[in-house]
Structure 1
Amino acid sequence: MTQISYSKNALACFMASVIGLIVSLRIGKRFIPQIPYLVLIGLVILALLVTIVLITIRKRKGSLSPATTFAFWNAMLRYFIAMDMVMFGLQKIFHLQFAIPLGVLDNPFSSLDGEQLVWAFFGKYYAFTVIIASVQIISAVMLLFKRTSLLAVIVLLPILFNILLLDWFYNLGLVVNIYITLLTIAAVYLLLLDYGRLKEFFLTTGSLPANLENGLKKNALRLSAVFIPVILMAAYKFPATHPEIYGKYEVKSNPLQKQGAYGDSVLTKVFIDNADFVMEYGNYQKRWIGSYEYNNLSKQFKVTWRYPANLHDTLYATIQRGAGPGFKIVSGRMANKDIRIDIRKEN
């Protein structure tokens, strides 16, 4: 039997205790709100300390071997991760996650925060939500059995890593971000417990057909999987980019325009990306949308409108720096009328 060192046991105890504490607090806070949060923290910490003390006493009496203690803490870690994954899955199925108020869904895209963007995207189709939840629940149940625990971790780890990236990049909150990071680290820890089996499975040398056994041929074949996409991307004609004018702008003044495109509306925003030039009159439902050509040297551009369908006049203009930081001046002609618009770039 492999000897389990004190440091390995300490690490296993630490991982199980931290994840157990966080999972218990997360579940208790949401589903047992009658218990004050500070009391809940105290009860969970007390339960963990009592468990650690009891195991330490039994170990000193000789009734528990280091290997048994090590197995116990790893089993507890799997138990708490499985409980959390089942809870996450059930919350998705019963609309406690990925649920966005209908009123929010009608708001402009730019007004949604990171959590609302993520939940609106993943929660658009309930069947998709159920599939994600089912994978979480099934892999969680597999994690509880020794024979299937490795496969469960292999399935769970990409899910957890994907959640980790979403939480950090879309800023779902510091507490949430730290929690999913710790949960992912715990899954990696469980995976590394089976490092020997993984090494044997993934790093053993397989046999190839005789005509591919030559090292040069094998390496050339491997490298072709990388170089062919690189060559194709290098030959692809990408759309032109114009970072000097790219952005969302607020209209500060438009003195020559007496009346907007929609009755008495006035021009309020201008959007310039790599393909479209958009002029907004009051809100996102009142927009002119066109494709444009831009000359970096002369600062001249030409906008051909696609929407509204009855708008056939082409805008010819230049865009120059304005009086202050972020300010620009758009000046030109459209429909035999002079146009001058002072705009300021928004963050």
Structure 2
Amino acid sequence: MTQKSHSHALACFMAGIVGSIVIMRIGHRFLINWIPFVVQIAIAAFYFTGTLVYIFIWKRKAARQQIDSGAVLGFWHGVLRYFIALDLCMFGFQKIFHLQFAIPLGMLDNPFSSLSGEEMMWAFFGHFYAFTVIIACLQFMGAIMLLFRKTRLLAVIFLLPLLFNILLLDYFYNLGMVVNVYITILVIAMIYLLLLDYDRLAEFFLKAKDNAPVLKLKSPLLKNVIRLSIFYIPLLLLAGYKFPKSYPRIMGKYEVKSVLVNNTDQKLKPCRDSLLTKIFIDNYDFVMEYNNYQARLIGSYQYNEQTRQLKAIWRYPVNMHDTLNVHVADGKIPGSRIMSGRMGKDVIKIDMQKVNPNDAYGNAR
């Protein structure tokens, strides 16, 4: 039909899908004790279906010129903006009342690697309540501006980076498929609202005369060389920087299966608190952990890929002076390694297994 027809259909669809998801989110979180989940689904489905049906009703009436298309389009834009603003305010109040970014205190003492992506993100952002309140206030401010015609565009420009940042966090910290799909839809809706003012934005950012003073250089080439210097200066500086070497073959987190010191199995010792349990090898450090994270040897290491000799010199604790000199061999099981050599004056042999053989750092997936 016409471009206006497609625009109207898209507005109805966006208002329908965003509104139905917001209805479901509010109902599932706050109304589940009063309204059965099946009824909530039915309400959201009825609303979404109604918006789709209305698209065809509008097209028929518009063809007969029985409807004010501009007014109806404005109505659906208003519905879309309202549901986005409502959702933002709901999340803002949840942050203020400790319903978001709240993580059990007992979990905070768990090893960092044991936390899921969502738990790590919530622990980080929820560490300072004032920071949480600031994020909530930004959501309130954007939501309020979104509801007024004169501040609508400013609200979209203000909220789009905020929502895009949330999208990246949700995807990379693996908050779940449902959450990822919804935040993607929300970002698309904001882009749609932004493009409604494409002509204004193009005029303001690309066509309008710039009143700021102009830096005048005789040579355009020199001006471009200066502009590009923001890239080549850091690259030149980094070219002379001594980066730590990476050894993917041995890097990772390992669980120690057995330790022999002077041909004596350390598991037979009466004191088990000093038993070596984990080894960590990354770009910078070689770490040996004895039963818990508070009992560790931390040092820098050198590794020869040809001879497979590894040397670690400890810097923590400061009174540890026994240098580790070992040969690293592959074990029979994929991801297993056998280190044999000396720790100071002691002959040592360590049989260890990488936690995740597919990950160079041994991170849990």
Kept in 2, the 8 Å contact 1:262–1:281? The answer is: no
Give TM-score scaled by structure 2 length.
0.88
2:193 aligned residue: 190
> Which structure 1 residue ranges, 5 or more long, are not aligned?
none
Kept in 2, the 8 Å contact 1:4–1:66? The answer is: no
1:21 aligned residue: 20
2:46 aligned residue: 46
1:172 aligns with 2:175: yes
Deviation string 1:127-172 (CA, Å, 9 cap, x unpaired) is 1111111111101100111111111111111111111111111111
2:336 aligned residue: 327
Q: Relative to structure 1, is the Cα distance of residues 335 and 210 closer, same or farther in structure 2, using a 3 angstrom cutoff? A: closer
* Pairs within 5 Å for 1:252-267: 252-256=257-261, 257-259=264-266, 263-265=271-273, 266-267=275-276
Moved more, 295-304 or 207-216: 207-216
For residue 126 of structure 1, the aligned residue among 114, 126, 129 is 129
For residue 139 of structure 1, the aligned residue among 129, 138, 142 is 142
For residue 233 of structure 2, the aligned residue among 213, 228, 231 is 228
Question: 1: CA distance between counterparts of 2:354 and 2:215?
Answer: 63
2:360 aligned residue: none
Kept in 2, the 8 Å contact 1:262–1:286? The answer is: no
Kept in 2, the 8 Å contact 1:98–1:119? The answer is: yes
Kept in 1, the 8 Å contact 2:259–2:266? The answer is: no
Question: 2: CA distance between counterparts of 1:209 and 1:52?
Answer: 52
2:100 aligned residue: 97
Kept in 2, the 8 Å contact 1:59–1:65? The answer is: no
Report the RMSD for the aligned CA atoms in angstroms.
Answer: 2.4
1:68 aligned residue: 71
SS of 1:309's partner is coil
Question: 1: CA distance between counterparts of 2:346 and 2:296?
Answer: 19
1:338 aligns with 2:341: no
AA in 2 matched with 1:46: F
1:241 aligned residue: 246
SS of 1:279's partner is strand
1:217 Cα deviation after fit: 3.3
Moved more, 309-318 or 135-144: 309-318
Aligned residues: 345
Sequence identity percentage: 56
Q: Relative to structure 1, is the Cα distance of residues 307 and 226 closer, same or farther in structure 2, using a 3 angstrom cutoff? A: closer
Q: Relative to structure 1, is the Cα distance of residues 306 and 210 closer, same or farther in structure 2, using a 3 angstrom cutoff? A: closer
1:235 Cα deviation after fit: 2.4
Give TM-score scaled by structure 1 length.
0.92
Moved more, 75-84 or 58-67: 58-67
Question: 1: CA distance between counterparts of 2:270 and 2:162?
Answer: 48
> Which structure 2 residue ranges, 5 or more long, are not aligned?
357-365
